[in-house]
Amino acid sequence: MLMLKESQIMKIHYISGVAALFVVAVHILIRLPVVTGMPFSMSLEYENVVANYQNIAYAVLLESMLVLIAIHGFNGLRIILLEFRQNIVWENGVTVFTLVAMIALIAYGTRTILIANGLG
């Protein structure tokens, strides 16, 4: 299993947090009615949401947002759970659990984007 020092894991946590802030800000700016040319409520209609997923640049933005937030969020959960106990079995179990959950969430989110593009 790939072993990273805690300082390296924290660097990943900080970088993913800052990057997620940037990507979410871009996402919010793109969703503004001034940019889309339609009211926000209309942009949430099924056809418009599917059209967003089919726009490759926007799909890449959504995928990067999914990955960054999943990495940051599950690593934060991992850090919280490690505060409960400090022994190697607990630490390895928490790490494996959060990695598996993170990968499952990313796979499910990616599946949604692929299905919207007729690839799933």
pTM here is 0.86
Residue ranges of the alpha helices (H) in the chain?
6-31, 33-36, 40-43, 46-54, 56-82, 88-116
Whether residue 7 has pLDDT greater than 60: yes
Tens digits of per-residue pLDDT, 60-100?
Answer: 999 999 999 999 999 999 999 999 998 999 999 999 999 99
Which structural domain range is residue 101 located in? 6-116
Asked if the structure places residue 1 within a domain, the reply is no
Whether residue 1 has pLDDT greater than 60: no
Asked if the structure places residue 82 within a domain, the reply is yes
Domain count, the chain: 1
Predicted confidence band of residue 4 (pLDDT cuts 50, 70, 90): confident
- The domain that holds 43 is classified in CATH as 1.20.1300
